[in-house]
Structure 1
Amino acid sequence: MQSSPPDSDVPRPVFLSARSLSGVLDREVVAEEDAELRKAGTVLTADRMTYSPVEDEVEATGNVELRQAEDRISGAQARLKLEDQVGFVDQASYFIKRQPKVVPAADVEQTTGFAAPRVIAIKPGQSKVKAAPKPASELTEARGEAGRIDLEGENQFRLTSATYTTCKPGSEDWYLTVADLRLDYDNEEGTGSDATVRFFDVPILHSPWLSFPLNNERKSGFLTPSYGSSNSSGIEVTVPYYWNIAPNMDATFEPRLLTKRGVQLGSQFRYLNEAFGGIYRGEALAEYLPHDRLADRDRWGVGLQYSQATASGFSGTVNYNRVSDNDYYTDLSSRITDTSRVQLLQQGTVTYSGGGWWTATANLQSFQTLEPDPKNPVTKPYRLLPQITVNARQPDLFSTDSSFYGQYTSFVHPEKALVEGQRIVLQPQISVPFVTPGWYVTPRVGVNITHYDLSYPAGSVLRPESISRTLPIFSVDSGMTFERSSIWFDREYTQTLEPRLFYLNIPYKNQDDIPIFDTALADFNFAQIFADNQFSGWDRFNNANQLTAALSSRLIDPVTGAEVMRAMIGQLFYFTDDKVALPGTTNRKWGSSDFLAAFSGQVWPRVYVDAALQYDPSDSQFERYAVGARYHPSPGRALNASYIFNTEASVPIKQVDLSGYWPITGRWQAVGRYNYSFLQNTPIEIIGGLEYNAGCWAVRTVAHRLQTAQADSTTQFFVQLELNGLSSLGSSTQSLLQRRIPGYAGGLTGSDQGLAQW
């Protein structure tokens, strides 16, 4: 007998089998001893069944088991309407396995929220914001027992006097006890009342109301509190509330208790939408700590990031950050990237792209300068009020590659005690590439025209108020590529040998009268030795009659085309003395530059090495070098080591950095980082922790010491219990470990946020 299609109005057939069948034709069938009923994906077994065809209803008693796909519900007694999938099972145990709902991207016009781990993508010619579907491999599992389970339609379950866990059968490490629990797999949400979380039978959290997502995504409600402690702020408790305002808009409110300082109020608001044929998105942050008891003042911080693009070619960004005082980050943040921030960007830009070959950008830029360490004063940069930049390029104009760069900048200093002015930079250039499969030669000519209109503070020494500089630029870039087959580590690779020569000629012009607005000596590296100017910014432009010689070699997998390793060496040879320098610095007096060498690649299975050095042949000493090794044999195992030595940095560096994440025994894993400065004779950052991963739960303990200033440090201690598919209790540690330990990918759900709302 064939079944009717699922959307047919014709009832689908029912098949009954048992050792004994009896009843009244078309009214009632009684099946006894090993009774089994099948209907369109539903299988019901029991000791005894009574089926009524008219009502399409079955009553089962004794060893009842209901199977639908991979779902299993068993109990002592059941009554079900098969077609409607409604009914109940008494004294039940259940196992429910679901794949999260997959919504085709073409059917979604907005994202499902920033908190959800989804990718936002725009296809060519598409104006709507799309949400990418979840991978089909993601599954959610739940099991437990209940005094009664009511089936309220497809994917709808209501459980009375129930337990709930995501642990595998045979493990009761954690579970929920709930007086009334509703599992809605259409909306992927679980809700309950009178709920208690038990960990190894010990109640650790109770709430009269509970809501949690069944797919590890966040939803509106209170997130589980986080706890921690630090020597600078005392015990810290944060109780966040997440508000899913709309599919493309959300907010998080985070009251944070600092026992030594007071209560800090924090909030985050995010949005994403489309308008004028493009996308706009933004994020606003605000924190306020009224009357910090240790600092004896109010403290606050704000941040705004906004970007928008239109179909007409316009785009814009806003990035504004400000805090109440110099010590805000060192006192109230645990991130090393924040504690080292001394320049807070305040910027707005508008860009127009015309025809794909030219762009124009208007930029307003300022900074809030922080000085958390009085022993290390920080220089305040100039404000750009405004800066307008034009870039244009035609890569195939009459067999030439022609380009133009133009910029106008008005420099204003916040202290009004330094020279201010306007600068105009124009740089057209044209090159004629000659390219073959084995070699290339590219001659290029250009000119840099720079003009200044300056104003000096009262009482300054008289200097020219108008300065112009014109410098012709000529260069020839050339290179060759040789290839051969080579055997490395018993495997065949393609090895290349790529010599490159770059000649540059720029005449000298005295620039001592030009003030320094935004210019510094550029970092000496492989990119810079092929650049026209050794300075960043336009206030200084070096003279040059020099040749750059470099040689690189690569190993390439001939099957995949992937680069396995690369080695490079290079040096500059000067045919004339350097006559242009920054104030307070001396000119170069030697005929060749420092020697550069670098290596990056896989040197052994799962072992990767990165190394770079700068060697001064005139003094026979290393100016800087860095070497690092990474060993990643498998997920959950990572070892990293690096050493950095740099005498040319504004603050000399001599540091060793060791980090790793490794199983030590059974389910226990150790995680740690040790970053030590030999020049300051002090650790910069120390992280040490243990993690126990039981599959359906994990616990982490992490201690973190951070040097926030030359004479100050802060120490924090975190404990986190993560219950897979439900929540994480305690202080979030994953984001800290993922930021600071390369290769770390611990955790059960891939999220360091609490999932349950209480």
Structure 2
Amino acid sequence: MSRLRRPPLPLALLSLALCQTQGAWAQQSWIDTPLVLQRTPQLAETIPNAERGLRPSFVEGDRISGRPNLETVIEGNGSIRRGDTVIRADRLEYYQPDDLAKANGNVRVNQAGNVYEGPELQLKVETFEGFFSNVRYQFLETGGRGEAERIDFIDSNVSVARQATYTTCRREDYPGWMPAWLLSAATLTTDTEENIGTATGARMSFMGITTPPLPSLTFPLNNQRKSGILPPVFGVDSVNGTEVLLPYYWNIAPNRDATLYPTLMAKRGINLGTEFRYLENGYAGTIRADYMPADTLRDRDRWGLWTRHNQSFDPKPFGLDSLSASLRLNRVSDNDYWRDFSRTPTLSSRLLDSEGSIDWSRGDWSGRVRALSYQTLQYTLSPITPPYDRVPQITANNTQYDWNGFDVSTSLDYTRFRADRQYAPLLNGQRQPDGERAFGILQVSRPWITPASFVIPKVQLHATSYQFDAPLANGANSASRTVPTFSIDSGLVFERDASFFGRAFRQTLEPRLFYVRTPYRDQSQLPVYDTAANDFNFATIYTENAFSGQDRISDSNLLTAGVSTRLIDPDSGEEAARFGIAQRFRFADQRVTLPGALPVTDRLSDVLLGAQINWTSKWTLDSTIQYNPDERRSVRSTLSGRYNPGSYRTINAALRYQADSTPLVQDGSKSIDIGFQWPLNDLWGDKGKNLGPGKGEGGGRWYAVGRMNYSLKDSKLTDGVIGVEYDGCCWIGRVVLERLTTGQVTANTRIMFQIEFVGFASVGVGANPMGTLAQNIQRYQPLRTPGERPSRFTNYD
């Protein structure tokens, strides 16, 4: 069965966050934990008790004596094997009528990979009932181990240890056998069927510091989810005062769970939050709600609601090939919510979209019916223009390839646009009215494609009709427009064998010409509902329309010329490098523009130059330059690179430059973005070990982690995360400092501390501070990630 997955997070993890901010404390949201759908990997099955009794027993030793069907005595290197259970000892006595084994001297029991060792054992082999005195034990799945005065085996799944200890620290990592952390308990009950350990009268010791006795606590015996208190987070904030977050995780069912996270803010009050996740065969989703009654600082109630739901329908009605639906809600109580409660998803955007849609397909046809509405969180220091709501939008599309040699596509759309007139954009001196727009696009192309060339002529007809709720500046309540377009895309591909720096390649040379002709149609009176100017890049320079959206169709008489070359590994087919250059030639001045924009009159556009180099899997370099030949300067450039030589080693860097719009001003926006994860032990020659994915590189290793976005123009850090991680084999420590800008003049700064006890208490990707690292650092790898459950044969006797 597919399952939701959230890493188990029991009580014994301490996560401390002290914050000193100029605004609200920006903490990662629990809803940011990704919804991972996966089939739970199964442990190589233990043998059921009913089947265990039907299996034969095998005995061996230096000397064997006894009476048939009564008892067997084995002396010297004795062993009894039945199914997945092996008992070894200096002396073994097995009484067949009672199915009772008695073992003395160097006793070792291996039960499905779990190992118990001690001086004396009594055990009913079939039901696995009995006791073990002065025992040492080790569990296969977590690597956890410990000692007990006595273990009572209730059955093959449940055991109770008296005066027991538990840790995942290994003796070989601590020569003096002083584990970094140790759980001591009066009783320790383990249930391998439920994968839960329960300790009573428990104390937790870490680095010599011991907690007061706890009446009871539970912990996982594997990487599966379990109910329990999540790691608490403590904070001190200059606005909110002392903050205490104590979440509780409820594992309702394999396909449902919930998280309750009450937060006490000394200066605000109590924020009550909950998140519910569900997964069924035909649908899945997440519901999150926060509520703070009577916020003391704002003197009002505060709330937020975020939902996600996706559903597929089967059987499908009306002969459809597919039918699905989705729902997304994002709403908060007020404009200040994104700054005051930055622990929520609202932090990432001040445009909160809510959308419901139904998608369908049948044969060559596909379509959608949707409603899209925005809540815009206005901020006096940084106001924004909200987009138009679409209530509703209905689309239908048809695409047919190779229809008598032609490719034919049709797009139909009806949309009702609505916006707050207070913030609606101006058109010819007055606010744009709400309205309805219907359009149809017919495209017909005839491709001629060979291995060495392609020619694709295409004709397009775009027809649009508007109905407005209020008259335009010219008094019209309706408008229409029909625009034809002709384009032809062509190119050649040349290849040759080449060698660079002693490496053989297949090199290509690919010239390309793209011509587009669209006649002028006056569109200056038409409103702008969903249209913006296209960015100037290698993708848009070969397109017919200079605008995205459907409210403006650019008049064009353009020819784009470009050439690229690629270096391809002849053995693997991988692309090692790509270089390209392109420029647009304009034969007539642009006349169709967006409101307030100036027409383009230059006959030659800026020159685009690009390069992408993947010489090896370790190195990647990508750069784009937009060069203005008239001003003889670069108006925009981006240079990014990545070095990733192995696990837990990655450096990402990007340099971005955007020139000022005024040619005489040589200043502009300049920033550098650097992210990294790197073992500090490499600096003194300790390269570590490759222990496999999600297992780190060995104990005693330090890792530097961070990401910094620095404005060279303003000489200041805009956003930054920097920290260190320490892998102590059975525990991981993290210290992370984060600065996050939430407005033009406000920023949050916090420092986070975290201790993770490996195999006992772990933190998911969405929790702090590991979630902060995962979201900010490209290719960041957690030092521990849940892997496949081990087979019992990995510890086979």
TM-score by length of 1: 0.86
- Distance in 2 of aligned mates of 1:729 and 1:633: 27
Which residue does 1:387 correspond to in 2?
393
Contact 1:198–1:205 at 8 Å: present in 2 too?
Answer: no
What is the CA distance between 1:513 and its match in structure 2? 1.1
- Distance in 2 of aligned mates of 1:334 and 1:551: 48
Distance change in 2, residues 1:265/1:447 (3 Å) = same
Distance change in 2, residues 1:521/1:672 (3 Å) = same
Is 1:320 paired with 2:329? yes
Can you list the C-alpha shifts for 1:115-172, whole angstroms capped at 9, x where unaligned?
A: xxxxxxxxxxxxxxxxxxxxxxxxx322110111223333443222211112222441
- Distance in 1 of aligned mates of 2:334 and 2:500: 57
Between stretches 413-422 and 510-519, larger displacement belongs to 413-422
Please show how residues 370-409 of structure 1 align to structure 2 within 5 Å: 370-372=377-379, 374-409=380-415
What is the CA distance between 1:11 and its match in structure 2? 5.6
Please show how residues 292-441 of structure 1 align to structure 2 within 5 Å: 292-311=295-314, 312=316, 313-333=322-342, 338-355=346-363, 357-372=364-379, 374-415=380-421, 418-441=432-455
Helix, strand or coil for the counterpart of 2:262?
strand
Which residue does 1:756 correspond to in 2?
none
What is the CA distance between 1:681 and its match in structure 2? 4.2
What is the CA distance between 1:41 and its match in structure 2? 5.0
- Distance in 1 of aligned mates of 2:197 and 2:500: 56
- Distance in 2 of aligned mates of 1:362 and 1:8: 58
What is the CA distance between 1:469 and its match in structure 2? 1.3
- Distance in 2 of aligned mates of 1:205 and 1:235: 24
Please show how residues 202-601 of structure 1 align to structure 2 within 5 Å: 202-204=209-211, 207-274=214-281, 279-311=282-314, 312=316, 313-333=322-342, 338-355=346-363, 357-372=364-379, 374-415=380-421, 418-456=432-470, 461-601=473-613
- Distance in 1 of aligned mates of 2:325 and 2:249: 29
Distance change in 2, residues 1:259/1:634 (3 Å) = farther
Helix, strand or coil for the counterpart of 1:738?
helix
Letter in 2 for 1:660: F
Can you list the C-alpha shifts for 1:151-202, whole angstroms capped at 9, x where unaligned?
A: 3333443222211112222441112112222222233232332332221242
- Distance in 2 of aligned mates of 1:304 and 1:36: 59
Which residue does 1:629 correspond to in 2?
641
- Distance in 1 of aligned mates of 2:535 and 2:653: 24
What is the CA distance between 1:649 and its match in structure 2? 9.6
Helix, strand or coil for the counterpart of 1:517?
coil
Which residue does 1:50 correspond to in 2?
93
Distance change in 2, residues 1:305/1:10 (3 Å) = closer
Which residue does 2:760 correspond to in 1?
726
Contact 2:708–2:721 at 8 Å: present in 1 too?
Answer: yes
Distance change in 2, residues 1:518/1:704 (3 Å) = same
What is the CA distance between 1:538 and its match in structure 2? 1.5
Can you list the C-alpha shifts for 1:528-568, whole angstroms capped at 9, x where unaligned?
A: 11211111111111111111112222222333323233222
Distance change in 2, residues 1:560/1:151 (3 Å) = farther
Letter in 2 for 1:749: T
Distance change in 2, residues 1:350/1:647 (3 Å) = farther
What is the CA distance between 1:48 and its match in structure 2? 3.4
Helix, strand or coil for the counterpart of 1:55?
coil
Contact 1:240–1:253 at 8 Å: present in 2 too?
Answer: yes
Q: Which runs of 5+ in 2 are unaligned?
A: 1-48, 317-321, 423-430, 682-699, 788-797
Can you list the C-alpha shifts for 1:291-321, whole angstroms capped at 9, x where unaligned?
A: 3333333222111112222242322221111
What is the CA distance between 1:714 and its match in structure 2? 0.9
Letter in 2 for 1:263: I
Contact 2:541–2:560 at 8 Å: present in 1 too?
Answer: yes
Contact 1:638–1:661 at 8 Å: present in 2 too?
Answer: yes
Distance change in 2, residues 1:644/1:360 (3 Å) = same
Is 1:145 paired with 2:151? no
C-alpha root-mean-square deviation of aligned residues, in Å? 2.7
Helix, strand or coil for the counterpart of 1:242?
strand
Q: Which runs of 5+ in 1 are unaligned?
A: 99-139, 752-758
Letter in 2 for 1:351: D
Helix, strand or coil for the counterpart of 1:97?
coil
Distance change in 2, residues 1:359/1:38 (3 Å) = closer
Total equivalences in the alignment: 696
Letter in 1 for 2:370: N
- Distance in 2 of aligned mates of 1:226 and 1:574: 60
Q: Aligned match of 2:117 in 69, 74, 77?
A: 74
- Distance in 2 of aligned mates of 1:729 and 1:196: 21
- Distance in 2 of aligned mates of 1:661 and 1:371: 37
Which residue does 1:120 correspond to in 2?
none
Is 1:709 paired with 2:743? yes
Between stretches 172-181 and 534-543, larger displacement belongs to 172-181
- Give me the identity figure in percent: 39
Q: Aligned match of 1:17 in 61, 75, 78?
A: 61
Contact 1:358–1:390 at 8 Å: present in 2 too?
Answer: yes
Letter in 1 for 2:460: G
What is the CA distance between 1:346 and its match in structure 2? 1.6
Can you list the C-alpha shifts for 1:228-268, whole angstroms capped at 9, x where unaligned?
A: 44444344322111222232222111112233332211111
Helix, strand or coil for the counterpart of 2:140?
strand
